[in-house]
Amino acid sequence: MSRKTLAIVLLVPFLLLTAYAVWEVGAVGIFVYQLQSSAGWQVFADLVISLVLVLTYLVPQARRDGRNPWPWVVATLFVGVISPLLYYATDKAQRGESPDARTA
């Protein structure tokens, strides 16, 4: 399965889950819930670390592919993993080539 297909497969149900959570508790309510206990802080820290790692791959790849990485970085700060998933779902450079072929 390509990275683009995987991104789309993950993005659609995650957007539905996100919409339901925002409808039920509001955008701020999602954060408030996470900050009520040490377990929530741990999950939030895990998310932040994971997104930083994702961005360390996304930024250089976007530059190689001639895409501006900064809108994706800023969007990630506001909407989390939705932004990297959208980046990979809209990646036109993926044509089944090896990573080395794309940088040549």
Tens-place pLDDT, residues 38-84: 999 999 999 999 999 999 999 999 999 999 999 999 999 999 999 99
Domain residues of the chain, as ranges?
Answer: 3-93
**Encoded tokens for 102:** 């794309």
Rounded Cα distance between 89 and 5, Å, is 7
pTM (predicted TM-score): 0.80
* Higher per-residue confidence, 33 vs 46: 46
Average model confidence (pLDDT) across the chain: 88
Rounded Cα distance between 53 and 36, Å, is 25
Rounded Cα distance between 37 and 71, Å, is 32
- Report the pLDDT value the prediction gives residue 7, as an integer from 0 to 100: 94
pLDDT band at 33 (very low <50, low <70, confident <90, very high): confident
- Report the pLDDT value the prediction gives residue 104, as an integer from 0 to 100: 43
